[in-house]
């Protein structure tokens, strides 16, 4: 049963858990500013470099549904503890790796650990906070996760130059692994006085049915495409290709490129809680906000790819990256949709399904950019080469916009059908003229 108020214990448990998510964002995005060093260290080109992110994020995406099932079965405390240990081990391996295959193995371990964090944090929020606070806590968690992303920009760039590759990543990995003990000690699955739910092992056939039930819910499908479209653009830039693009195509120094890249993080940190408060109080505004962001994001990519000569003035890069950064908080709408329209026993699984959307998009896009750069860089100058490579990002964005519109209309139709049957719905929607064109 949902709690009716947030206690001090709830905030303490959440703060302990969200530190793991902050660490996950640091480890996930640390290759963004270290990508050029990684290319030199492992002697690889753009396509092979992109494989680091493809492997890490691809495993993250593949692990989302299993993670939801693991959280439902074993609880978020055990899963978060395992996540911290795996991320620490992965980063330690990356620190000492001196060959490309070992580097890939390290990022794979890190990706599996990273995959276990977000669903666990959201499950804790659902258990310890009242429903009216869930959206705020979710967006606040995402914004604080941006602190880890922020450390992985300018501070990490300076630390790599000063302390070097091995020391930097070794300290980060050992610190994360040690924090697993704190998580195991402080985190509790349910508030005091609430009985611990007993979950029996689920047969494989039942697991498939649970995932299918989550996927059949129109709002879960809508959440999948919202996450696919909103989260992918800032993630592709922040995780790997933004830094090389700013240095090689835009001609910025590494500190200046890190400063522009940090805009992605700072904007998300500032706007995340604000957006969470707004959509928590006016949930009917959730999808209009997402739709507005997607329209503006398409315009931003038109500026990046259509600027004469391909080299933009730095004062233009800052606002463009700032607007694209709004995709991070906007993607949180996906999890609010999942939380509202799925029963609690299926929330973690449905959250994993929605989370696959964005990271699946990032995986395919990061690989496509690397492959296209390998093909066109020998024949084109850097600005034009990145312009061609980033067409793959725009293609994914446009496909996501199309599918988001389709499932937005279908999800609205499902809500109106429920109202017509006399059922209670989480969010009251106003019928529009175009709603009558949607088949029930």
Summarize pLDDT for 365-402 with one digit per residue, the tens. Answer: 888 888 898 888 888 888 899 999 999 999 999 999 99
- The helix (run of H) or strand (run of E) holding residue 187 is none
Q: Which residue has the higher pLDDT, 195 or 82?
A: 82
Token pair, residue 44, equals: 């690889």
CA distance 334 to 410: 15
The pLDDT assigned to 429 comes to: 76
- In this structure, CATH architecture of domain 8-192+207-437: Up-down Bundle (1.20)
Size (the chain), residues = 440
The rounded distance, in Å, linking the Cα atoms of 264 and 29 is 12
pLDDT score recorded for residue 199: 54
CA angle 18, 9, 337 (to 5 degrees): 55
Looking at residue 440, the DSSP 8-state letter turns out to be: -
Q: Can you give the pLDDT at residue 193?
A: 61
What is the arithmetic mean of pLDDT over 102-112? 91
**How many C-alpha atoms does 119 have within 13 Å on its Cβ side?**
35
Contact, 293 vs 326, CB < 8 A? yes
322-373: pLDDT as tens digits: 999 999 889 888 988 887 887 767 777 788 888 888 888 988 888 888 889 8
Question: Could you say which DSSP state residue 246 is in?
Answer: I
At 195, list the tokens. 């009985």
pTM of the model: 0.76
| DSSP, res 433 | G
Q: Quote the tokens at residue 242.
A: 């933004």
User: Within 10 Å of residue 413's Cβ, how many Cβ atoms?
Assistant: 17
User: Which of 228, 210, 181 has its CA nearest to residue 68?
Assistant: 210
User: 45 is written with which tokens?
Assistant: 């080109």
CA nearest to 396, candidates 209, 210, 230, 151: 230
Spatial CA neighbour of 223 closest among 80, 351, 50: 351
Strands (E), 214-274: none
CA distances to 52, 143, 228, 231 from 331, rounded to whole Å, are 24, 12, 8, 6
Please enumerate in sequence order all residues whose Cβ is within 8 A of that of 377, keeping only pairs 6 or more positions apart, or say none.
Answer: 46, 385
Which segment, 161-170, 209-218, 239-248, 311-320, is predicted with the most confidence on average? 311-320
List the single range of 54-58, 88-92, 225-229, 231-235 with lowest mean pLDDT: 54-58
Q: Where do the structural domains in the chain lie, given as residue ranges? A: 8-192+207-437
Per-position DSSP letters for 336-354, written without gaps between them:
HHHHHHS-HHHHHHHHHHH
Distant-in-sequence, close-in-space partners of 90: CB < 8 Å, separation ≥ 6: 27, 106, 107, 108, 109, 110, 111, 112, 113, 173
Angle between helices 117-128 and 8-42 (to 10 degrees): 170
Closest CA to 280 of 69, 67, 105, 131: 131
Q: What is the mean pLDDT of the chain?
A: 84
Taking the C-alpha atoms of residue 387 and residue 389, their distance in angstroms, rounded to an integer, is: 6
Could you tell me the CA-to-CA distances from 187 to 133, 144, 171, 197, 428 in Å, in that order?
A: 19, 18, 24, 16, 35
CA pair distance 375, 380, nearest whole angstrom: 10
Residue 155: partners with Cβ closer than 8 Å, 6 or more residues away? none
Distance CA(269)–CA(262), nearest Å, equals 11
Q: Which two tokens stand for residue 115?
A: 């995959």
Tokens 């000569």 sit on residue: 309
d(CA 346, CA 8) in angstroms, rounded, equals 27
How confident is the model over 23-57, as pLDDT tens digits?
998 888 787 767 778 888 888 877 787 788 778 87
CA distance 100 to 40: 11
Percent of the chain exceeding pLDDT 70 equals 92
């Amino acid at each position: 049963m949902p709690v009716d108020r947030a206690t001090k214990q709830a905030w303490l448990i959440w703060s302990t858990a969200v530190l793991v998510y902050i660490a996950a964002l640091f480890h996930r995005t640390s290759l963004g500013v270290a990508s050029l060093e990684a290319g030199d260290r492992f002697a690889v080109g753009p396509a092979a470099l992109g494989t680091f992110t493809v492997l890490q994020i691809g495993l993250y995406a593949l692990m989302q549904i299993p993670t939801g099932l693991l959280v439902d079965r074993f609880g978020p405390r055990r899963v978060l503890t395992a996540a911290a240990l795996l991320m620490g081990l992965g980063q330690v391996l990356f620190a000492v790796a001196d060959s490309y295959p070992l580097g890939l193995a390290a990022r794979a371990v890190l990706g599996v650990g990273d995959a276990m964090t977000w669903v666990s944090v959201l499950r804790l929020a659902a258990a310890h906070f009242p429903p009216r606070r869930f959206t705020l806590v979710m967006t606040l968690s995402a914004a604080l996760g941006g602190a880890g992303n922020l450390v992985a920009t300018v501070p990490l760039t300076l630390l790599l130059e000063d302390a070097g590759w091995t020391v930097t990543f070794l300290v980060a990995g050992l610190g994360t692994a040690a924090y697993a003990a704190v998580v195991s000690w402080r985190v509790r699955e349910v508030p005091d006085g609430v009985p611990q739910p007993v979950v029996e092992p689920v047969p494989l056939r039942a697991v498939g049915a649970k995932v299918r039930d989550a996927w059949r819910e129109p709002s879960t499908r809508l959440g999948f495409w919202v996450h696919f479209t909103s989260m992918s653009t800032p993630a592709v830039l922040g995780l790997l290709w933004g830094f090389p693009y700013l240095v090689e195509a835009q001609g910025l120094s590494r500190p200046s490129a890190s400063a522009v890249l940090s805009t992605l993080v700072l904007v998300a940190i500032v706007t995340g809680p604000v957006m969470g408060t707004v959509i928590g109080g006016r949930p009917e505004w959730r999808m209009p906000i997402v739709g507005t962001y997607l329209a503006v994001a398409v315009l931003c990519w038109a500026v990046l790819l259509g600027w004469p000569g391909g080299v933009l003035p730095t004062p233009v890069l800052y606002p463009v990256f700032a607007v694209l950064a709004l995709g991070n908080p906007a993607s949180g709408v996906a999890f609010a949709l999942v939380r509202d329209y799925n029963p609690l026993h299926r929330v973690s699984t449905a959250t994993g399904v929605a989370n696959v959307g964005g990271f699946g998009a990032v995986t395919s896009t990061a690989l496509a950019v690397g492959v296209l750069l390998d093909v066109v860089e020998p024949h084109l100058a850097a600005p034009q080469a990145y312009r061609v490579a980033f067409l793959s990002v725009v293609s994914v964005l446009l496909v996501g916009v199309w599918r988001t519109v389709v499932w937005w209309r279908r999800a609205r139709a499902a809500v109106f059908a429920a109202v017509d049957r006399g059922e209670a719905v989480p969010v009251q929607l106003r019928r529009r003229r175009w709603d009558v064109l949607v088949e029930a």
